[in-house]
Amino acid sequence: MNKFLIFALSLLLASCTNNSGLRQNSYSAGEQLLYQGVADYNKDHYLAAQQKFYRALVFFQSIDNTENIQLARINLVEALLAVSNFSDAQKQLSFLIQGGLFKERITLLKVKLLFQQQQYRKGLAVIRPLLLQQDSNKRLDLLATAARLETLIAEKAEQQWLSKFQAALLRKGSNQPKYQVVLKRINALIAVQHQQYQQAVQLLNESVTFYKQHNNRRAIAACLVEIAEIEIKQQYPVKALNYLNRALNIRTWLKDPYQVDKIKKIILRINK
């Protein structure tokens, strides 16, 4: 989200430079709200970010700036999805104008919503048209997402997007840490499917280490839950509870009631 926001906001600011001083002052209020929202988002203060993005949205609606309305709404959806607020995210997505400057980003948001709701097959169907386009600016991001979706469907069919993702990483070289960790998580899932549990746990623990270095709380929590589920498969309830409680602490801090409830249900199932 960060690079996209910075880039988009730079475009927004550049578009104001040729306007009158009065109009620049008018726009600055909305821009400030967006910047403040980005700062809150990067600190994992997602509820505060939602408030800033919503206020920016209302502001830009008041001056009928359609491009910046799109930008504010896209950022609002990102912040809503960060705390698993699916209903409001879907509502805001329905208001977005399809096509234009943010076409690819809107499609990825739809995929992200489906992914978080575990509708993997639908998500892969939505992202497929973008994957078939040549010279996509976000080609590696798209392949990484498609590879995860494809693996989560867990069919024995050929994993074409995973193969293409791996080939793309080889072409780019090893200096792609954020994609390498995605590949680790995909390989962990494949290891679980083949009941290679120790290998899966090792890969996920390596992923946790990476995410800790980058203060990615949501990814840390997700990996901890995945490890816990592997420990449950191996009949290690005490180990599973340890990982789940660690993930629960993170999701509670993030104020994500959906994920908190989900983890609590797993803990309750273990303790029965």
Q: Are 65 and 39 in contact (CB under 8 A)?
A: no
Q: How far apart are CA 197 and CA 23, in angstroms?
A: 60
Overall average pLDDT of the 62-82 stretch: 94
Percent of the chain having pLDDT more than 90?
63
* Helical packing angle, 103-116 and 86-95, nearest 10°: 160
SS (H, E, C) 54-118: HHHHHHHHHCCCHHHHHHHHHHHHHHHHHCCCHHHHHHHHHHCCCCHHHHHHHHHHHHHHHHHCC
Q: Are 40 and 14 in contact (CB under 8 A)?
A: no
State both tokens at 267.
Answer: 């803990």
Better-scored residue on pLDDT, 46 or 9: 46
Domain positions in the chain:
1-117, 176-272
Which CATH number describes the domain made up of 1-117? 1.25.40
Q: How far apart are CA 165 and CA 139, in angstroms?
A: 9
Strand, coil or helix: 172: helix
Overall average pLDDT of the 145-162 stretch: 79
Q: What is the pLDDT of residues 1-42, one digit of tens each?
A: 443 353 444 444 433 334 433 354 555 789 899 999 999 999
Distances (CA, A) of 147 to 1, 111, 193, 256: 20, 13, 15, 26
Domains 1-117 and 176-272 share a fold: yes
* Predicted TM-score of the model (pTM): 0.85
Which CATH number describes the domain made up of 176-272? 1.25.40.10
Please determine, for residue 172, whether its predicted confidence score (pLDDT) is greater than 80. no
**What is the pLDDT at residue 16?**
39
All residues at 6 or more sequence positions from 152 whose CB lies less than 8 Å from its CB, including other chains: 118, 120, 189
Q: What is the pLDDT of residues 173-199, one digit of tens each?
A: 656 788 899 999 999 999 999 999 999
Overall average pLDDT of the 104-128 stretch: 92
